[in-house]
Structure 1
Amino acid sequence: MLLSVHDLHAGYGRAEVLSGLNLELPAGQVVTVIGPNGAGKSTTLNALMGLLPFRGRVMFDGVDLADSTLEERVMLGLALVPEKRELFGTMPVEDNLILGGWRARKLRMADWRAQIDHVYELFPRLKERRAQLAGTLSGGERQMLAVGRALMSRPKLLMLDEPSLGLAPLVVKEVFQIIDRLRAQGVSILLVEQNARAALEVADYAYVLETGEIGLHGPARELAGDPRVIETYLGASRVASSSAATRQESPL
């Protein structure tokens, strides 16, 4: 198991947001955590990345992260694309990518610069804008750059915090196509997402987080058909369309 989280507690000051979270992520899979605002999705990623203190047991690639610093977690192969992307807006696109290769350079990975070509292959628009300041990019382009910068470290686990937030529907579709392509390439991904429909379509396994605890979990396709998930996260229209399809297919 690449990532194993047991009885995770984390929060802000005295306010506990996560109260005993458990989840697992096998290597090479996309695991998603869905849920409403305030459920603790971003808190989960921040705790795993070392941005928040936590109680509980977190094992990553055989290493206990309890006493690991943020830098140590990066070196182990964790990479987080935060909700706000946190780009260097006054620097060109390519310089942002080069900074993302810090782990690869420190580990003296051979041909680490070749990873830039890989990122440009995934995101051709970034190559077109490689000399453009990051702060002048569109919202979708900034998200692509944030993901590309994280990939520059050649992470063992890529964590994505609300990658569809604030993006136009066509751009959201493109972002999730990239996630699917990364999975096909063997990249392990922990996806935190409020767009439950898109997340469940691209994920292998899913957890539903409700007020700091896991309410449901299972294979993503099974959860996508669970009446509780449909009603709460996918909308009543999904139920109506499914019923209509059943009536049309019935020989009676």
Structure 2
Amino acid sequence: MTAPALALEGVSVDRAEVPVIHDVSLDAAPGAVTVILGANGAGKTTLMDGIAGLAKVKSGAIRLDGTPIEKMAPYRRARAGLGYVEQARTTFRTLTVEQNLLVSQSGGGELSTVYKLFPELDKRRNLQAGYLSGGEQQMVVLGRALVSEPKVVLIDEMSLGLAPMVVRRLMTTIGELAGMGIAVVLIEQFANLALEVGTQAHVLRKGGVVFSGPCAELRGDDERLHRLYFGGPPLTTADRDAGPAESERP
């Protein structure tokens, strides 16, 4: 059995000294997409920030390729092979696409790999990032994580504010990243799209894991997802018509 690229054991994370994540254990395998789901306020982003070193890990162990990283500074975690694509889709707006990518380049990370995944960026490599569409900016942020030669990439709500067609295009790329042997950990508001590309799913509720299993067990089952998210009755027709909730940051 392949060893996990990322392993969490009994991890608890605080946000501004307030406990948010409680005793979370999960693995992310190389070449697979691990999906983290949950309602607004479930603690998904806090969990990601804890893994990346942006929120305080109060207890538990986080191992990257077998190495404990829970006490490392964020930049050391990045150097060890942890990439983080945050919600904000932050680019250096006055730098060109290529300059944005070069900022994160390390080791043998190749820009050609990014341009192969995103031919749209190849055509705009000399354009300032501030002139890109939202989808193209998200491609830059994903590409910036890729050229750092990550073993694991955390991706938090990349679909925010993007058209469904663009989201589907980016989801295809998530599968391609996994195909390169990278362990992808994905938070996504469009649950069924994430479950289509994902391998293993974990659902958070009130900071704890309430489901861990194959994505196929949840795919297309909106009523079960609703019960896992909220612990309440199945979805009504009105609930289904309301659409996905917006992202949270506890």
Question: TM over 0.5: same fold?
Answer: yes
Distance, in Å, in 1 between the alignment partners of 2:220 and 2:143 is 33
SS in structure 1 at match of 2:218: helix
Partner of 2:65: 61
User: Unpaired segments of 5 or more residues in structure 1?
Assistant: 241-252
**Cα shift at 1:135:** 1.3
**Cα shift at 1:14:** 2.8
**Cα shift at 1:200:** 0.6
In structure 2, the CA distance between the partners of 1:116 and 1:236, relative to structure 1 (3 Å rule), is farther
Partner of 2:209: 214
Alignment of 1:170 with 2:170, yes or no, is no
**Cα shift at 1:217:** 1.3
Alignment of 1:151 with 2:146, yes or no, is yes
Partner of 1:78: 82
Deviations 1:198-231 (A, max 9, x none): 1111000000111100111100001225551266
In structure 2, the CA distance between the partners of 1:13 and 1:180, relative to structure 1 (3 Å rule), is same
Which of 3, 13, 18 pairs up with 2:16?
13
Which of 40, 43, 53 pairs up with 1:50?
53
* Structure whose alpha-carbon radius of gyration is higher: 1
Task: Tell me how large the CA RMSD over aligned residues is.
Answer: 1.9
Partner of 2:132: 137
Distance, in Å, in 2 between the alignment partners of 1:63 and 1:17 is 25
User: Unpaired segments of 5 or more residues in structure 2?
Assistant: 241-250
SS in structure 1 at match of 2:90: coil
- TM-score, normalised by the number of residues in structure 2: 0.86
Partner of 2:248: none
- Give aligned-pair identity as a percent: 37
Distance, in Å, in 2 between the alignment partners of 1:207 and 1:166 is 24
SS in structure 2 at match of 1:179: helix
Asked if the contact 1:224–1:230 (Cα under 8 Å) also holds between the matched residues in 2, the reply is no
SS in structure 2 at match of 1:224: coil
| Paired AA for residue 196 in structure 1 | A
Asked if the contact 1:6–1:23 (Cα under 8 Å) also holds between the matched residues in 2, the reply is yes
Give the number of equivalent residue pairs. 229
| Paired AA for residue 26 in structure 1 | A
- TM-score, normalised by the number of residues in structure 1: 0.85
Higher helix share: 1
SS in structure 2 at match of 1:87: coil
Distance, in Å, in 1 between the alignment partners of 2:228 and 2:21 is 21
| Paired AA for residue 197 in structure 1 | N
In structure 2, the CA distance between the partners of 1:177 and 1:236, relative to structure 1 (3 Å rule), is farther
SS in structure 2 at match of 1:121: helix
| Paired AA for residue 229 in structure 1 | L
In structure 2, the CA distance between the partners of 1:176 and 1:24, relative to structure 1 (3 Å rule), is same
Distance, in Å, in 1 between the alignment partners of 2:154 and 2:217 is 23
Asked if the contact 2:192–2:219 (Cα under 8 Å) also holds between the matched residues in 1, the reply is yes
Asked if the contact 1:10–1:52 (Cα under 8 Å) also holds between the matched residues in 2, the reply is yes
Partner of 2:44: 41
Partner of 2:185: 190
Asked if the contact 1:8–1:21 (Cα under 8 Å) also holds between the matched residues in 2, the reply is yes
